[in-house]
Amino acid sequence: MCELLAIDSKNPVRANDYLREFYSHSVKHPHGWGLSWRDGSPFDEESVTLYREAKRAIDSEKLPLLLEHPVEQCQLLAHIRYATGTEMRTRNCHPFREVDVTGRQWTMIHNGILFNERLTSSYDATTEGDTDSERMAAFLLDVMDEAFMRGAKPDFDSRFAVLASALTQLANRNRINVILNDGEYTYVHTNTSKTTLNYREYTDPRGGRATIISTQPLGGEAERDEWRPVPPNRLIALHHGKLVRTSAPHGYKFCETVLELQRAMGIRPENFVA
Domains of the chain: 3-264 (3.60.20.10)
Handedness of CA 118, 253, 109, 87 (dihedral sign): negative
Backbone angles phi, psi at 267, to 5 degrees: -85, 125
The span from the CA of 59 to the CA of 230, in Å, is 31
- Cβ within 8 Å of residue 38, ≥6 positions away: 47, 48, 49, 73, 74, 75, 76, 105, 107, 181, 183
Whole-number percent of the chain with pLDDT over 70: 96
The CA angle 98-104-108, to the nearest 5 degrees, is 35
Query: What's the pLDDT at 271?
Result: 41
- Omega of the bond leading into 95 within 30 degrees of 0 (cis): yes
pLDDT band at 270; cut points 50, 70, 90: very low
pLDDT, tens digit, for every residue of 3-17? 999 999 999 999 999
Give dist(CA 113, CA 269) in Å, integer. Answer: 9
pLDDT computed for residue 55 by the predictor? 96
Residue 35 has pLDDT above 80, yes or no: yes
Q: How confident is the model at residue 256 (pLDDT cuts 50, 70, 90)?
A: confident
Q: Among residues 50, 245, 40, 75, which one has the least CA distance to residue 155? A: 245
- Residue 136 has a pLDDT of 97
Give, as one character, the DSSP assignment of residue 133.
Answer: H
Please compute the mean of the pLDDT values over residues 211-216 and round it to a whole number. Answer: 98
Predicted confidence band of residue 163 (pLDDT cuts 50, 70, 90): very high
pLDDT of the residue at 262: 66
- Per-residue pLDDT, 71: 98
Q: What is the mean pLDDT of residues 188-207?
A: 96
Nearest Cα to Cα of residue 273 among 151, 47, 110: 110
pLDDT band at 268 (very low <50, low <70, confident <90, very high): low
Residue 272: band (very low, low, confident or very high) from pLDDT cuts 50, 70, 90: very low
Q: Could you tell me if 22 and 214 are in contact, meaning their C-beta atoms sit under 8 angstroms apart?
A: yes
Residue 266 predicted with pLDDT over 80: no
pLDDT of residue 267: 61
Average pLDDT, the chain: 94
The yes-or-no verdict on residue 273 having pLDDT over 80 is no
